[in-house]
């Protein structure tokens, strides 16, 4: 099959901030994807933890089509029924009383960080503005969110950055205890660091963060953009740890592939976002909210959430078998269907080579930095697809090792 829309055209017409794979997918169904030449792939990438129910899930397609015949956009000069329905579903299922809708995880985090500073200002004065974050964290690509994120490479060339942000080692409670003060308005963290290498927090660390935030009148902000909506085996990962944040952000899996994000918080904290303090033209879009409501309805069930745990074990068993054969993984870690396999030192920097070779063998997967393979598939991926995808990964690894 030939097409005028080639990978070479990307280089011609697109800003060069991305470097996509050479193939161009054109169709997806469940956990399978087909490219322009009708070659099939198994999808372990999930659109970077986005396609929570796979590609073109029929119930999501029906929800989108039904809403498309009703109402597309109003702006927040008005409200709409899908936004209210989704907000009610989210508040009923979580600690939160209030919801702010956005279009992405970065926008949800931008709102969370602004709210944290506004709340600190409103209740404790101008000096309550410091945000503490953690090394290797990732919170988005706006200037504020990359400043809060703990990876300096994403700020290179964009200074001066927003100030009043401190970065500490992840899972190091002593470092936080030494740094936090009455100037701190918020401690921001991912309960499972995604881009930072798929690193779950220690439960004791999260409990300690909660206690220190309470002691210093600081808000605890959980970025669950990547770990949320069933990805951990719980609707949100905070539920697995038994530690409740003050603000939570969610996106990616929330829309199952349709762009949507949300910030969740309590009524008391939400008061600092009074009329006119923040906004989003597309936030709460009826199309997005209709799809996201159906996503939560499907995922927040015992069957799907329990299935995530069993599929995690299927992934882990397969990765352990591959490691027995090839010895490439120093550690396999993660929760639910957010899994990282860290490469041994002699293979550091080769993650990109592995995912490119996996594509040749019909498997889509990810990296989390150059040294960690990342798997974030559909939460309802069939076990047969997991096993077949792992067989394809094994063939790719065998070929790479043979070429080394």
Give the pLDDT of the chain (404 residues) as one tens digit per residue. 567 899 999 999 999 999 999 999 999 999 999 999 999 999 999 999 999 999 999 999 999 999 999 999 999 999 999 999 999 999 999 999 999 999 999 999 999 999 999 999 999 999 999 999 999 999 999 999 999 999 999 999 999 999 999 999 999 999 999 999 999 999 999 999 999 999 999 999 999 999 999 999 999 999 999 999 999 999 999 999 999 999 999 999 999 999 999 999 999 999 999 999 999 999 999 999 999 999 999 999 999 999 999 999 999 999 999 999 999 999 999 999 999 999 999 999 999 999 999 999 999 999 998 999 999 999 999 999 999 999 999 999 999 998 75
- Residues serving a catalytic function are 138, 223, 252
One domain for residues 86 and 135: yes
Nearest residue to 201 (alpha-carbon basis) of 223, 177, 182, 229: 223
HSE-up of 121 (CA within 13 Å, CB side)? 11
Residue 24 is assigned to a structural domain of this protein: yes
CATH of residue 257's domain is 3.40.640.10
Residue 2 is assigned to a structural domain of this protein: no
Residue 65 is assigned to a structural domain of this protein: no
Start-to-end CA distance of the chain, whole Å, equals 33
Residue range of the domain that includes 192: 71-299
What is the count of structural domains for the chain? 2
What pLDDT score does 3 carry? Answer: 79
Residue found by looking up tokens 């669950």 in the block: 224
Contacts for 118 with CB less than 8 Å, ≥ 6 apart:
272, 273, 277
One domain for residues 226 and 119: yes
Which of 262, 282, 299 corresponds to the end of one domain?
299
What b/e readout covers 140-160, taking b as 16+ CB neighbours within 10 angstroms?
bebebbbbbbbbeebeeeeee
What pLDDT score does 261 carry? Answer: 98
Which of 268, 284, 299 corresponds to the end of one domain?
299
Residue 212 is assigned to a structural domain of this protein: yes
286 in Cβ contact with 293 (< 8 Å): no
CATH of residue 344's domain is 3.90.1150.10
Residue 127 is assigned to a structural domain of this protein: yes
- As a whole number of Å, the CA-based R_g of the chain is 21
């Amino acid at each position: 099959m030939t097409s005028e829309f080639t990978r070479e055209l990307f280089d011609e017409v697109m800003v060069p901030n991305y470097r996509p794979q050479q193939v161009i997918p054109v169709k997806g169904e469940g956990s399978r994807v087909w490219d322009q030449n009708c070659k099939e792939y198994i999808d372990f990438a999930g659109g970077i933890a986005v396609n929570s129910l796979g590609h073109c899930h029929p119930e999501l397609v029906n929800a989108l089509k039904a809403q498309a015949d009703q109402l597309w956009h109003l702006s927040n000069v008005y409200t709409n029924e899908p936004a209210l329905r989704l907000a009610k579903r989210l508040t009923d299922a979580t600690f939160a009383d209030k919801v702010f809708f956005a279009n992405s995880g970065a926008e949800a985090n931008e709102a969370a960080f602004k709210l944290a500073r506004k709340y600190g200002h409103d209740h404790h004065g101008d000096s309550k503005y410091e945000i503490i974050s953690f090394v290797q964290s990732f919170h988005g690509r706006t200037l504020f969110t990359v400043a809060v994120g703990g990876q300096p490479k994403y700020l290179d060339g964009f200074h001066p950055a927003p100030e009043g942000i401190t970065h500490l080692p992840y899972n190091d409670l002593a470092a936080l205890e030494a740094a936090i003060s009455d100037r701190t308005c918020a401690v921001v963290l991912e309960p499972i660091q995604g881009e930072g290498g798929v690193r779950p927090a220690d439960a004791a660390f999260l409990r300690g963060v909660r206690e220190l935030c309470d002691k210093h009148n600081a808000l605890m902000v959980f970025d669950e953009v990547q770990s949320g909506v069933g990805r951990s085996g719980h609707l949100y990962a905070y539920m697995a740890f038994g530690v409740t944040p003050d603000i939570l952000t969610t996106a990616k899996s929330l829309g199952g592939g349709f762009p949507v994000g949300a910030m969740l918080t309590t009524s008391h904290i939400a008061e600092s976002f009074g009329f006119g303090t923040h906004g989003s033209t597309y936030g709460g879009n009826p199309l997005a909210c209709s799809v996201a409501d159906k996503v939560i309805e499907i995922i927040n069930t015992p069957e799907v959430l329990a299935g995530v745990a069993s599929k995690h074990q299927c992934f882990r068993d397969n990765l352990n078998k591959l490691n027995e054969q090839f010895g490439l993984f120093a550690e396999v870690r993660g929760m639910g269907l957010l899994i990282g396999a860290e490469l041994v030192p002699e293979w550091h920097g080769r993650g990109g080579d592995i995912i490119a070779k996996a594509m040749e063998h019909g498997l889509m997967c990810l990296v989390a930095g150059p040294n960690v393979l990342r798997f974030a598939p559909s939460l309802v991926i069939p076990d047969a697809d997991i096993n077949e995808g792992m067989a394809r990964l094994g063939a790719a690894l065998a070929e790479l090792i043979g070429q080394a």
